[in-house]
């Protein structure tokens, strides 16, 4: 794999270390090469002349490649603008096509694109059950089974949580849904390409994916829709995407996501770096790992430091050219506490001092050591001015 050139922070003149890959990822060089190669194929795929037909052919080849990657049929791959649209399309599209089913089941730690879509549907008369999770962030599967009724339309449970990295047992949930004749949808944004996803084997009916989480430009996503699913489009117009998602196709994005699935993942290396970093950070007094230690995606660390502000810590690291997150980037403008950390019962004085670190193929041991050193330094600095003191 081609490595990115090391970037230098213009303010500090130090190496920049990017550790917010759950929010977005760099565009890989092989993807940029694919974009440049495809840039002269600019014709509208809906036109009928040769140049346009060649572009359409490229789209269909990409669709087939992605379908094969998840063991789906090409006509089950619908291209969207990203996971937020895919999540909205999945739930609202099912609701439009199945108006007699007025019950939805989801969890308390879903992405805002699911939570807010469910809230919107509640305002239209839908009943939504938000299932609890345990202190590791694992959803209560038995409770989901108990909540399913003849009125249940869909169960929507994310595969990997975007904040704490918890991996949900979606195959067990999907099997229950199949037995009960209920649709199962999963937001697979944080697991796609990291964890093998065979949609047939896992009994998935609908699945949302985002390109920019796997090294493509922003603005491209996928909604897998199993053949036979009763669903209506949210966007009407020219009839593209099997008449399910109108609008001229994002050809560059489609080619990008098809190329990105080829990029090998250094799973073993990332897991080793993640575990090493967790061990070193937990040596800091008053530190808590949030989420599961074992059922966790291999590049995620969500950690809390007692009695300090995560935002202050993030900004101090930013001054050093180190980029981490305080939670979900999609809702980081909000000053509210993390609904995910609240759901797993993280104590108040730890919630406020939490940061999320998500590593990538490009992350090195040297970078991790630098971040550990800087974190220890900045946490100590913030604790000196904090009114909340650790007890000996």
Distance, CA of 349 to CA of 271 (rounded, Å): 28
Neighbour count for residue 88 (Cβ, 10 Å): 19
Contact 8, 16 (CB under 8 A): yes
What backbone torsions phi and psi does residue 250 show, to the nearest 5 degrees? Answer: -80, 80
Beta strands 77-80 and 221-225 are antiparallel
Is residue 118 part of the annotated active site? The answer reads no
304 Cβ contact list (under 8 Å, min separation 6): 287, 288, 290, 310, 341, 346, 350, 351, 353, 354, 355
Please name the residues in contact with 301: beta carbons below 8 A apart, sequence gap of 6 or more: 165, 274, 277, 278, 281, 289, 356, 357, 358, 359
User: Residue 323: beta bridge partners?
Assistant: 18
Q: Determine the length of the chain.
A: 392
- Say which of 15, 120, 263, 330 is annotated catalytic: 330
Catalytic residues: 330
């Amino acid at each position: 794999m081609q490595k990115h050139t090391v970037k230098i922070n213009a303010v500090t003149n130090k190496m920049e270390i990017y550790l917010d890959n759950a929010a977005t990822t760099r565009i890989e060089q092989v993807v940029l090469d694919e974009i440049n190669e495809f840039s002269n194929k600019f014709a509208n795929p809906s036109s009928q002349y040769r140049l346009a037909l060649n572009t359409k052919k490229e789209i269909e080849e990409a669709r087939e490649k992605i379908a094969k990657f998840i063991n789906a049929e090409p006509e089950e791959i619908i291209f969207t603008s990203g996971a937020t649209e895919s999540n909205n399309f999945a739930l609202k599209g099912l609701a439009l096509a199945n108006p007699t089913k007025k019950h939805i089941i989801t969890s308390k730690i879903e992405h805002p694109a699911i939570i807010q879509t469910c809230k919107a549907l509640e305002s239209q008369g839908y009943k939504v059950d938000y299932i609890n999770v345990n202190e590791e962030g694992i959803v209560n599967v038995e409770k989901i089974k108990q909540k399913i009724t003849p009125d249940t339309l869909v169960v929507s449970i994310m595969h990997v949580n975007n904040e704490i990295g918890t991996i949900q047992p979606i195959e067990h949930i999907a099997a229950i849904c199949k037995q009960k004749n209920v649709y199962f949808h999963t937001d697979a944004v944080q697991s796609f390409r990291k964890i093998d996803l065979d949609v047939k084997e896992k009994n998935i009916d609908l699945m949302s994916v985002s390109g920019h989480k796997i090294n493509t430009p922003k603005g491209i996503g996928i909604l897998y829709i199993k053949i036979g699913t009763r669903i209506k489009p949210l966007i009407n117009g020219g009839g593209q995407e099997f008449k399910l998602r109108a609008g001229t196709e994002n050809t560059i994005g489609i080619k990008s996501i098809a190329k990105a699935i080829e990029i090998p993942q250094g799973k073993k290396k990332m897991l080793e770096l993640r575990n090493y970093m967790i061990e070193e950070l937990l040596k800091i007094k008053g530190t808590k790992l949030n989420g599961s230690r074992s059922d966790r995606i291999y590049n995620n660390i969500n950690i809390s430091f007692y009695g300090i502000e995560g935002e202050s810590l993030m900004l101090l690291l930013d001054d050093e050219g180190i980029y981490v997150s305080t939670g979900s980037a999609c809702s980081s403008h909000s000053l509210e506490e993390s609904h995910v950390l609240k759901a797993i019962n993280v104590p108040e004085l730890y919630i406020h001092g939490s940061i999320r670190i998500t590593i990538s193929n490009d992350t090195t041991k040297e970078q991790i050591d630098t971040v550990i050193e800087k974190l220890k330094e900045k946490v100590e600095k913030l604790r000196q001015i904090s009114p909340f003191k650790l007890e000996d």
